[in-house]
Amino acid sequence: MVKLHPSILERDGKKAFAVLPYEEFLKIEEELDDLENIKDLRSAKAEEVTAPTASLASVRKELKI
C-alpha cells in the first residue's frame, strides 16, 4: 500500500484538488497498471476455463521428444 502525503487545495473554501509528491504519483500509477494487468489476466483465464488442454507428457510423446 502506498503511503500518501497529499496537500489539499481549496477553491471558494471547499476542497478542490489534492496535490501529491511526484514519487507518490508514480507509485500509484504503477499499482493501477498492475491492477489492470491482474484484471486482464483473470478475464483471460476465465475465458479459457473450458479450453482443451494437453499434458506435457502427451505433447512430448506427440513431438517425439
Total-model pTM = 0.66
CA separation (Å) from 41 to 17, 29, 33?
Answer: 33, 18, 12
3-state class (DSSP) for residue 18:
strand
User: Using one digit for the tens of pLDDT, what is the confidence trace for 27-61?
Assistant: 999 999 999 999 999 999 999 999 999 999 999 99
For the segment 7-35, the average pLDDT, to the nearest whole number, is 98
Q: Is the dihedral of CA 35, 22, 10, 8 positive or negative?
A: positive
- Please determine, for residue 20, whether its predicted confidence score (pLDDT) is greater than 90: yes
Rounded Cα distance between 39 and 27, Å, is: 18
